[in-house]
């Protein structure tokens, strides 16, 4: 059976990653969370106090970074490794979320991440989620989804997710971070978040998780059968 590329783009917190992960599992495809690559770089920049305005420092840092996704059988999902260290939990914390948009607006960062993401997808059969997957990383993707959800639904879901992981954050703090990231991600110069013409929009505000997974699976199976 032919293997396709599925690109899922959209605003922060619409359920892109969780949907992509489940769709990939059911199709026996690889899931690549491109946002995790930007988060890992951001963590490295924070830990090493890289000045975002210093081009040489940014380039030097990018040369020292390796990012891998390693499948954890017990958890049934990929975990993000930065220079061989498991950073899966750390990169989801609020202090990283606060810095990730300015870091991902840097042209050199995007160039490096896009080539890492393309390499990870070399064998095909991929579900990749992010902001520029259908527009820049895989403009040739057979299926492109653009996910949206109301501000309330997004903030409520992320609050429950972080709370479940024992992280102390308020719904207001999350909503503010989403607003700021949406603004920065859509207005940046380098490959901003856009809805490409051939993307199919899915509004997840009132959908059960299983329904949004099934919608993407139905669309994918249609494409696979073509």
Task: Convert residues 127-146 into a mask of x (bound to ligand DC by CB under 6 A) and - (unbound).
Answer: ---xxxx-------------
Q: Looking up tokens 């939990």, which residue turns up?
A: 89
Give min distance, CB of 85 to ligand DC, in A. Answer: 18
Q: In terms of C-beta density within 10 A (0-12 exposed, 13-18 middle, 19 or more buried), how is residue 192 classed?
A: middle
- Select 4 or 181, whichever has its Cβ closest to ligand DC: 181
Query: Under rule CB under 6 A, how many of the chain's residues touch ligand DC?
Result: 14
Give min distance, CB of 225 to ligand DC, in A. Answer: 28
Give min distance, CB of 140 to ligand DC, in A. Answer: 16
Chain positions 185 to 204 lying near ligand DC, rule: CB under 6 A, are 185
Q: How far is CA 137 from the centre of its chain?
A: 12
CA 50-132-200 angle, 5° bins: 155
Q: Which of 38, 44, 45, 159 binds ligand DC (CB under 6 A)?
A: 38
Give min distance, CB of 126 to ligand DC, in A. Answer: 13
Q: E strand or H helix at 17, and its extent?
A: helix 16-27
> Rounded to an integer, what distance in angstroms lies between the CA atom of residue 144 and that of residue 198?
7
Chain positions 59 to 98 lying near ligand DC, rule: CB under 6 A, are none
Give min distance, CB of 226 to ligand DC, in A. Answer: 26
Instruction: Report the b/e string of 46-82 with b at 16+ CB within 10 A.
Output: beeebeeeeeeebeebbeebebebeeeeeeebbebbb
39 in contact with ligand DC (CB under 6 A):
yes
Give min distance, CB of 7 to ligand DC, in A. Answer: 10
Q: What is the DSSP string of 23-54?
A: HHHHHT-EEEEHHHHHHHHHHHHHHTT--TT-
* Helical residues (DSSP H) of 55-208, grouped into ranges: 55-63, 94-104, 107-120, 151-164, 171-187
Point out which span in 33-41, 63-71, 144-152, 213-221 binds ligand DC (CB under 6 A). Answer: 33-41
35 in contact with ligand DC (CB under 6 A):
yes
Chain residues that interact with ligand DC, rule: CB under 6 A: 12, 34-35, 38-39, 100-101, 104, 130-133, 181, 185
């Amino acid at each position: 059976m032919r293997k396709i590329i599925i690109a899922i783009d959209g605003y922060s917190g619409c359920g892109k990653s969780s949907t992509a992960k489940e769709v990939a599992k059911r199709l026996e495809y690889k899931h690549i969370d491109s946002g995790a690559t930007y988060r890992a770089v951001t963590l490295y920049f924070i830990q090493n106090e890289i000045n975002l305005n210093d081009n040489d420092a940014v380039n030097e840092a990018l040369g020292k970074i390796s990012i891998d996704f390693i499948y954890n059988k017990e958890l049934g999902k990929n975990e993000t490794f930065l220079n061989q260290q498991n950073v899966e939990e750390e990169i989801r914390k609020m202090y990283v979320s606060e810095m990730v948009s300015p870091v991902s607006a840097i042209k050199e960062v995007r160039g490096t991440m896009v080539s890492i993401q393309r390499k990870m997808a070399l064998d095909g059969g991929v579900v990749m989620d992010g902001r520029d997957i259908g527009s820049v990383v895989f403009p040739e993707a057979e299926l492109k989804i653009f996910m949206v959800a109301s501000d309330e639904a997004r903030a409520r879901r992320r609050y429950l997710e972080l709370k479940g992981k024992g992280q102390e954050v308020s719904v207001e703090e999350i909503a503010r971070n989403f607003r700021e990231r949406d603004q920065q991600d859509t207005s940046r110069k380098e490959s901003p978040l856009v809805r490409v013409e051939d993307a199919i929009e899915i509004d997840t505000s009132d959908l059960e998780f299983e329904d949004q997974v099934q919608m993407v699976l139905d669309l994918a199976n249609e494409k696979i059968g073509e």
